Structure 1
């Protein structure tokens, strides 16, 4: 019995995901997204957890978004509990691209405060995409517990996530401005500056915040 051409192409593409050449893996992911086949979903998700090349991971995510959420979301939610940081991070990224809000309850506090910076940053981005309107204050409260965390890139990611929630973040930012930790205060001040003036730029906002903290002059009326 001859295997249909579509089946043959899918099998070849799935095998090519394991090729040592990243350009071959990229083309395989492209093919699997161009001609979606539910049988490829599990392998695509599995590959996301171990794929070393960013461009290939992006294509794997795109391929998954080409399939029905009913086929992809359950497997991605399972990956959120993986011991492998990349599996958690890539699953979060893919869920944010799919945009199915049924995934929101799985964006837990543990993920939002994950010890791995890349996982946490991806969780922040996914959360602001998936959060329902009524969940924004609670999300803002959790995100502000991460103020002052990590290097500039991580701090910028958090500020962007908070700002995406809008004015609901103002009360929790004001509270954070009185935190005992100077880095937390600086980050909170910088984030509020960016909320009010998105064109200010993060570097300018954080340097201004440092001066304010050093002088001990935080105006609650600004």
Structure 2
């Protein structure tokens, strides 16, 4: 079969077939009387093999090695192709996200586009210092799209840069909660931890609903951040998690303070006291837990916890008894110093 017919049937241009011939990759094994290239059925089969391997991303040099060395093991080369393809897809995904960010900003002039691209480069810099500087001192007159900030905070591992990003997000215009909520569904626990911290700084019912769902997260750290944020908003659904934080530590002080604030509501105070008393009874041999519970009881408003503190002041463990007795005295003094109705404090 002559080269023109091979080109028509294979879809490979005559120019590329001649290139294959020059490289020794797919040469015709015959010539006509007039000197024209003549391809056999085996030659055409090799051309299809070359095209198949090209479709996998192999270079022509790699294809030559594969076809000419019967002992060539494909596993290492295929693994390398997978790695290269993943890197290419990552670069293309980053480009797509960058283009979407530019489009979302609706730039009116090319200088606006260039300034925004410069800002995006700063947010994706390998230098944490540069990323933080980009967040705190963005390009003049170029607002950062909230979606870009949200994606950046979900990916940011440096705590200082992440803090700056959360600060910027809390002050940005636009609804960023849906993007952060998507981060809460990530299989990567680090992403969920970053997301819950960012959502905790967001006002509104939408953010509160996402935080409420986060109380069921399999990761304890995510649950703790959600409970502290919800408790600070007055959500009583956080009480069980907050009480658990007191029992477990090490965030027992923060949890106790939030529980004390929630206990200003009499209906919630009874629920909290019941839960704390139950934990005291559930840990009769763990002095460290009972000390943390005593400290949490001291955060309760008024003298509602005084009875349980006095009971702990007679605990069999001396360290628990001493701490509880001291805290009971603090609660008594605090109650005595509180002015009654119509009394002006001195």
Q: TM-score, normalised by structure 1?
A: 0.71
Match of 2:278 in 1: 175
Shift of 1:36: 7.0
Name the count of aligned residue pairs: 201
Match of 1:107 in 2: 211
Q: Which runs of 5+ in 1 are unaligned?
A: 198-208
Could you tell me whether the CA contact under 8 Å between 1:186 and 1:210 is conserved in 2? Answer: no
Could you tell me whether the CA contact under 8 Å between 1:99 and 1:129 is conserved in 2? Answer: no
Match of 1:155 in 2: 252
2:243 counterpart of 1:144: yes
Q: Which runs of 5+ in 2 are unaligned?
A: 1-107, 303-311, 332-346
Shift of 1:114: 4.5
C-alpha separation between the residues in 2 aligned to 1:50 and 1:67?
Answer: 18
- Deviating above 6 A after TM superposition, structure 1's stretches of 4 or more consecutive aligned residues are 216-219
Task: Give the stretch that moved more between structures: 24-33 or 210-219.
Answer: 210-219
2:204 counterpart of 1:95: no
Match of 2:126 in 1: 20
Root-mean-square deviation (CA), in Å?
3.5
C-alpha separation between the residues in 1 aligned to 2:232 and 2:213?
Answer: 16
Q: 1:11 aligns with which of 110, 117, 121?
A: 117
Match of 2:299 in 1: 194
Deviations 1:114-165 (A, max 9, x none): 5343x3332222212344xxx42x3213422343214x3x222322332332
Q: Report which of the two has the higher share of helix.
A: 1
With over 3 angstroms needed to count, the CA separation of the structure-2 counterparts of 1:214 and 1:115, relative to structure 1, is: farther
Match of 2:146 in 1: 41
C-alpha separation between the residues in 2 aligned to 1:104 and 1:213?
Answer: 43
With over 3 angstroms needed to count, the CA separation of the structure-2 counterparts of 1:5 and 1:115, relative to structure 1, is: same
Shift of 1:189: 1.7
C-alpha separation between the residues in 1 aligned to 2:258 and 2:140?
Answer: 31
Q: TM-score, normalised by structure 2?
A: 0.49
C-alpha separation between the residues in 1 aligned to 2:224 and 2:137?
Answer: 29
Larger radius of gyration: 2
With over 3 angstroms needed to count, the CA separation of the structure-2 counterparts of 1:123 and 1:114, relative to structure 1, is: farther
Deviations 1:48-77 (A, max 9, x none): 223222221111112212223x52011112
C-alpha separation between the residues in 1 aligned to 2:225 and 2:298?
Answer: 23
With over 3 angstroms needed to count, the CA separation of the structure-2 counterparts of 1:12 and 1:26, relative to structure 1, is: same
| Greater RCO, 1 or 2 (C-alpha within 8 Å, sep 6+) | 1
C-alpha separation between the residues in 2 aligned to 1:33 and 1:191?
Answer: 47
